[in-house]
Copies of this chain bind each other. A is one copy, B any other.
Amino acid sequence: MERLSFAADRASTPRDERLEGVTIAPLTAPLGAGAPVQAAIFRLAPGGRIARHPATVPQILAVLEGAGHVSGGDGELRPIAAGEGVFWPAGEEHETRTDTGLTALVLEAVGLEPR
Given contacts A1-B71, A4-B84, A87-B1, contact A39 B39 (CB under 8 A): yes
Interface residues of A (CB under 8 A from B): 1-8, 10, 26-29, 33, 35-37, 39, 41, 60, 62, 64, 70-74, 78, 83-88, 92, 94, 105, 107, 109-115
Contact of A60 among B10, B28, B111, B113 (CB under 8 A): B28
Work out how many copies of this chain go into the complex: 2
Top 7 A-B pairs, shortest CB-CB distance:
A1-B72, A7-B83, A29-B113, A37-B37, A26-B115, A36-B111, A2-B87
Bound-state Cα–Cα, A40 to B35, Å: 19
Q: What residue in chain B is nearest A33 (Cβ atoms)?
A: B113
Given contacts A39-B39, A39-B107, A92-B1, contact A27 B115 (CB under 8 A): yes
For A1, what are the chain B residues with a Cβ–Cβ distance below 8 Å?
70-74, 86-88, 92, 94
Contact of A4 among B3, B26, B35, B115 (CB under 8 A): B115
